[in-house]
A and B are shown apart, each in its own frame.
Chain A
Amino acid sequence: MEQLVKRINGMIHLKAYNRQRDDLFFITVEKSQLELVLSHLKNNEGFTHLAFLQAVDFLEDSKFQLTYMLYNYDIRVNLGVKVLIGRDKAEMTSIHKLWAHAWQYQRELHELFGINFPGSPRVEESFVLEGWEEMPPMRRDFDTKEYSERTFYQRPGRSTNDPKEYMKEKMYKNYAASPRIRRDDE
């Protein structure tokens, strides 16, 4: 793996390299060099399978982090390629020419995060939301509760309880004494 990283480093500048498990690694690359890296990984290093492509909204940094998760069937290794892109008018090059099925992921990201992939087939079509008109809902600045209250009729009389407290109160009167597995947050 290290050799692989070296080889890639020889080509371009790797921003970060992180080993999660024996079979799970992450590298972070520049936005402009992503396509180069991916095609190298696919064509020369045997990472032929694109398992998924997902995004994380780093609202505070005003960035989206895209993760292209690749898999090598020969050495059975997962490799995540991370890219950070700007959050405003987010745009990323489409990789549907490398992996044809990537169009579906890109369409999803377009709908849920508002990341644009110019040239990706059918990217404008709705994916799970039909007729969505608001801000892409997976952006963290979208207030889903407010939206729900505004849009869907609330049935009056609904109350919410913290399950742990509620159960403690209602069902397990002697909660402290009851044997249980210790949880981290206690």
Chain B
Amino acid sequence: MNRKHIDEIEKQMKLANEGLPEEERKFFADVIPTRVDPFNKYWEQFLNWARSRSLWMLAFGTGCGATELRPLMTSRFDMARFGIFPRPTPRQASVFVVGGYASIKTIKRIIRSYEQMQGPKYVIALGSCTINGGMYYDSYNTINRLDYYIPVDVYIAGCMPRPEALIAGFNRLKEKIVAGECEGMNEYTDKFDWFKKNQKEIIKDWNMPDYNW
């Protein structure tokens, strides 16, 4: 294998970041995310148990869903007793709560935030809008299915779902985590090209790196 081939392969192993202007590419990492497998079974089970009891939530208040998160946090419903805490930065959060309809402008930010979270990471999609567009199913500017753009672990139906429903959703997520069924981060890397294709299809002015580290 000569030098040229190696260069070729190395290039393929890097993100193209074609959406960025040439002079900005040096500011962003261009590494392709790869799959990270769980540990061996029992140890992973223990870790999953701990993860499920310490859910750090990144609330993405896109729409009406953000309203429902307030009572969930405060004394009426008090999510802290379930080990759920808000976290202001995606770097530290483990649960991504997408709070309702996502316009194209918003989905950009949703993708960015999701990619910046460190796995294992889970997504709870809130409200009908994230499931099939809800009342915005015919809008020119709102996506219909969130799971085409990022992997979703739990959907909570409703327009809007009440905090009780949210708690139920969180509990469902916990069950899934303990059962080891929440491998969204690996799903995303495995089907990376598919997700990217979907994302780029609707985001016409793709002006961010292909993967936001």
Direct contact between A and B judged by beta carbons closer than 8 A? yes
Q: Is A183 interfacial (CB-CB < 8 Å)?
A: no
Is A130 touching B108 in the complex (CB atoms < 8 A)?
A: yes
Is B204 touching A133 in the complex (CB atoms < 8 A)?
A: yes
Nearest CB of B to A77, in Å = 36
- Residues from chain B with a CB closer than 8 A to the CB of A33 are none
Interface stretch (choices A83-91, A102-110, A116-124, A139-147): A139-147
Q: Which of A128, A131, A144, A152 contacts B144 (CB 8 A)?
A: A152
Q: Is B141 interfacial (CB-CB < 8 Å)?
A: yes
Given contacts A130-B104, A131-B204, whether A155 and B132 have CB atoms under 8 Å apart is yes
Q: A137 to B203, alpha carbons, bound, how many Å?
A: 16
Q: Is A148 interfacial (CB-CB < 8 Å)?
A: yes
Given contacts A148-B144, A153-B144, A154-B132, whether A132 and B139 have CB atoms under 8 Å apart is no
Is A144 touching B138 in the complex (CB atoms < 8 A)?
A: yes
Residue of A nearest to B149 (CB): A153
Residue of A nearest to B133 (CB): A152
Q: Is A129 interfacial (CB-CB < 8 Å)?
A: yes
Q: Is A158 interfacial (CB-CB < 8 Å)?
A: yes
Within 8 A of A (CB), among B125-169: 131-133, 137-145, 148
User: In terms of DSSP, what is the predominant structure of the interface of chain B?
Assistant: loop
- Residues from chain A with a CB closer than 8 A to the CB of B206 are 131
- Residues from chain A with a CB closer than 8 A to the CB of B140 are 134, 137, 142, 144, 147-148, 151
- Residues from chain A with a CB closer than 8 A to the CB of B8 are none
Is B144 touching A129 in the complex (CB atoms < 8 A)?
A: no
Q: Which of A131, A133, A137, A148 contacts B133 (CB 8 A)?
A: A148
Residue of B nearest to A149 (CB): B138
Is B205 touching A130 in the complex (CB atoms < 8 A)?
A: yes
- Residues from chain B with a CB closer than 8 A to the CB of A152 are 133, 142-145, 202
- Residues from chain A with a CB closer than 8 A to the CB of B133 are 148, 152, 154-155, 158
- Residues from chain B with a CB closer than 8 A to the CB of A153 are 144-145, 148, 198
Q: Interface size of B by Cβ–Cβ distance < 8 Å?
A: 24
Is A129 touching B145 in the complex (CB atoms < 8 A)?
A: no
Is A155 touching B143 in the complex (CB atoms < 8 A)?
A: no
- Residues from chain B with a CB closer than 8 A to the CB of A142 are 140
Residue of B nearest to A151 (CB): B202
Nearest CB of A to B75, in Å = 32
- Residues from chain B with a CB closer than 8 A to the CB of A148 are 133, 137-140, 142, 144
Q: A134 to B204, alpha carbons, bound, how many Å?
A: 11
Is B148 touching A144 in the complex (CB atoms < 8 A)?
A: no
Q: Is B105 interfacial (CB-CB < 8 Å)?
A: yes
Q: A149 to B137, alpha carbons, bound, how many Å?
A: 8
- Residues from chain A with a CB closer than 8 A to the CB of B103 are 128
Nearest CB of A to B83, in Å = 32
Further pairs besides A130-B203, A148-B139, A155-B133: 11, Cβ < 8 Å: A129-B141, A130-B204, A131-B205, A148-B144, A152-B144, A152-B145, A152-B202, A153-B198, A154-B132, A155-B144, A158-B133
Q: Which residues of B does A touch, CB under 8 Å?
A: 103-105, 108, 131-133, 137-145, 148, 198, 201-206
Listed A/B pairs (27) with beta-carbon separation below 8 Å: A128-B105, A128-B141, A129-B105, A129-B141, A130-B104, A130-B105, A130-B108, A130-B203, A130-B204, A130-B205, A131-B104, A131-B205, A132-B204, A144-B140, A148-B137, A148-B138, A148-B142, A148-B144, A151-B202, A152-B133, A152-B143, A153-B145, A154-B137, A155-B132, A155-B133, A158-B137, A160-B137
Q: Report the 7 A-B pairs with minimum CB-CB distance, sorted nearest first.
A: A131-B205, A131-B204, A155-B132, A145-B138, A152-B144, A144-B140, A137-B140
